[in-house]
């Protein structure tokens, strides 16, 4: 590839609309009420009084489970730009809700494959999860490690580290005899074993899935062949692009909290935030956070327009993942001993940021993808 064949950058609208600003306001208000820090920290102790309440407020009161469900199936018929606003707020609040995994990832996949009945149930608040390892970046990446097969009349396999469970419905990609297929399995069906594992990020549960389900029980696949691969790729790209918004929101929160803390905290007879070594680190972080927000907005706009999606998403993931982790790590360090405590809200963001770093493809995986997309091949290409 030469610079002439480089995918040209579209000129996308990166400013928030009034609708988006209103949506942000209501989501932020709901999450401020439903996701208090103590409840979020208690998740790691096995006490969950927060997930259901937070999701019911988002899905029920605000109708966000159905945000991306088309209107004809009972949804709001909104697009990736609105979803990015919600994801960003979920990142700020570290909300333990299946918005990204169910309302975005699973819903996009069901929509692409025309599963009208299943979509209708999403619109009513039902949750769904894609049964692939958390770090899956693309359909190709999934099929390489495909662990579930449909042989001998049964759907059998183990998938480690799935995010988005518990959920009502499992979306199971299967390496069938005739290529890829996607099966829908009720989470409560016989032969489904879900084992919750302890997650680095307690606000995003991690589950090992064991399936040994009779195929008649799992029905015929929703779709087979290339269609599945394409739909999976689209859904994973959509989720990855909106994950960037979550990361941008998380990073912005970390910067704001850290600036606020350092504006109060006094040592050596001065406000600590007046020390230049810290001011300069925060100024650099400020530059990064501003860029992360723009880059995430760009990915959402690209998804909404259906243009430049692969490059925009890879850039957004590669960039925002790193910024979120950097912001969270700086927040812990600059909060001093307080940052190291269980009570402080800061560590929740660190765990979420580091988990997000791995989710849906590491920055390295996305940079690898870019190497091909923008014609910058590695040394092995000669």
- Rounded Cα distance between 339 and 43, Å, is 18
Exactly one of 119, 184, 185, 295 binds other proteins (CB under 8 A); that residue is: 295
Candidates 114-122, 125-133, 178-186, 281-289 — which segment interacts with other proteins by CB under 8 A?
281-289
Size of the chain, expressed as the number of residues it contains:
382
Candidates 30-38, 101-109, 133-141, 373-381 — which segment interacts with other proteins by CB under 8 A?
373-381
Question: CA quadruple 277, 317, 66, 48: dihedral positive or negative?
Answer: negative
Give me the least distance between CB of 125 and other proteins, in Å please.
35
CA dist list (Å): 273 to 21, 290, 335, 337: 31, 20, 11, 16
Closer to other proteins by Cβ: residue 295 or 353: 295
By CB under 8 A, tell whether 9 contacts other proteins: yes
- Rounded Cα distance between 89 and 94, Å, is 8
Exactly one of 11, 18, 45, 117 binds other proteins (CB under 8 A); that residue is: 11
Binding mask of the shown chain, residues 339 to 368, with x at each position contacting other proteins by CB under 8 A: -------------------------x--xx
Give me the least distance between CB of 283 and other proteins, in Å please.
4
Give me the least distance between CB of 24 and other proteins, in Å please.
15
Give me the least distance between CB of 318 and other proteins, in Å please.
5
Closer to other proteins by Cβ: residue 28 or 367: 367
Closer to other proteins by Cβ: residue 29 or 271: 271
Exactly one of 32, 52, 271, 338 binds other proteins (CB under 8 A); that residue is: 271
By CB under 8 A, tell whether 381 contacts other proteins: yes
Give me the least distance between CB of 365 and other proteins, in Å please.
11
Long-range contacts of 13-22 (CB under 8 A, 24+ apart): 13/301, 14/294, 14/297, 14/298, 14/301, 16/85, 16/297, 17/81, 19/82, 20/81, 20/82, 20/85
By CB under 8 A, tell whether 212 contacts other proteins: no
Residues whose CB falls within 8 Å of the CB of residue 84, separated by 6 or more in sequence, listed in order: 241, 242, 245, 296, 297, 299, 300
- Rounded Cα distance between 89 and 167, Å, is 22
- Rounded Cα distance between 226 and 60, Å, is 35
128-130 and 169-176 as β-strands: parallel, antiparallel, unpaired?
parallel
Which positions from 245 through 264 interact with other proteins, judged by CB under 8 A? 259, 262-263
Give DSSP secondary structure letters for 14-56: -SPPHHHHHHHHHHHHHHHHH--HHHHHHGGGT--SSHHHHHI
By CB under 8 A, tell whether 179 contacts other proteins: no
- Rounded Cα distance between 197 and 161, Å, is 8
Residue 209's Cβ-count burial label (10 Å; 0-12, 13-18, 19+) is buried
By CB under 8 A, tell whether 375 contacts other proteins: yes
- Tell me if residue 328 falls in helix, strand or coil: helix
Exactly one of 292, 324, 350, 355 binds other proteins (CB under 8 A); that residue is: 292
Give me the least distance between CB of 268 and other proteins, in Å please.
12
Closer to other proteins by Cβ: residue 135 or 278: 278
Binding mask of the shown chain, residues 302 to 341, with x at each position contacting other proteins by CB under 8 A: ---------x---x--xx----------------------
Would you give the distance in Å from CA 174 to the centre of its chain? Answer: 22
Residue with the two structure tokens 């997309």: 373
Closer to other proteins by Cβ: residue 68 or 244: 244
Exactly one of 31, 209, 360, 370 binds other proteins (CB under 8 A); that residue is: 370
By CB under 8 A, tell whether 230 contacts other proteins: no
Binding site for other proteins (CB under 8 A): 1-3, 6-9, 11-15, 259, 262-263, 270-271, 273-274, 276, 278-280, 282-284, 286-287, 290-295, 297-298, 311, 315, 318-319, 364, 367-368, 370-371, 374-379, 381-382
């Amino acid at each position: 590839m030469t610079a002439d064949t480089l995918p040209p950058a579209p000129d996308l609208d990166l400013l928030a609309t009034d609708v988006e600003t209103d949506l942000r306001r209501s989501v932020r208000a709901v999450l401020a009420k439903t996701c208090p820090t103590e409840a979020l920290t208690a998740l790691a102790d096995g006490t969950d009084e927060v997930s259901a309440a937070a999701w019911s407020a988002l899905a029920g009161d605000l109708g966000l489970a159905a945000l991306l469900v088309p209107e004809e199936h009972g949804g709001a018929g909104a697009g990736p730009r609105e979803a990015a606003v919600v994801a960003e707020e979920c990142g700020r609040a570290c909300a333990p809700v299946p918005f990204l995994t169910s309302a975005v990832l699973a819903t996009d996949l069901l929509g692409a494959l025309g599963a009208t009945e299943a979509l209708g149930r999403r619109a009513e608040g039902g949750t769904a999860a894609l049964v692939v390892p958390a770090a899956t970046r693309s359909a190709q990446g999934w099929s390489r490690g495909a662990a579930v097969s449909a042989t001998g009349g049964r759907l059998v396999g183990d998938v480690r580290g799935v995010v988005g469970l518990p959920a009502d419905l499992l979306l199971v990609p299967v390496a069938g005899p005739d290529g890829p297929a996607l099966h829908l399995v009720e989470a409560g069906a016989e032969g489904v074993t879900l084992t919750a594992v302890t997650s680095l990020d307690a606000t995003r549960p991690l589950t090992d899935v064991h399936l040994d389900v009779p195929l008649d029980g799992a029905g015929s696949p929703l779709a087979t062949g290339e269609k599945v691969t394409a739909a999976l790729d689209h859904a994973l790209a959509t989720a990855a692009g909106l994950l960037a918004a979550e990361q941008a929101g998380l990073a912005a929160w970390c910067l704001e909290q850290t600036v606020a803390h350092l504006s109060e905290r006094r040592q050596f007879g001065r406000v600590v935030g007046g020390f230049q070594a810290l001011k300069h680190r925060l100024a650099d972080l400020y530059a990064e956070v501003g860029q992360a927000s723009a880059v995430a907005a760009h990915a959402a706009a690209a998804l909404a327009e259906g243009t430049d999606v692969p490059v925009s998403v890879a850039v957004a993931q590669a960039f925002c993942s790193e910024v979120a982790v950097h912001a969270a790590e700086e927040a812990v360090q600059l909060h001093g001993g307080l940052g190291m405590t269980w009570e402080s809200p800061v560590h929740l963001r660190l765990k979420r940021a580091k988990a997000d770093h791995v989710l849906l493809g590491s920055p390295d995986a996305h940079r690898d993808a870019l190497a091909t997309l923008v014609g910058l091949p590695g040394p092995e290409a000669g």
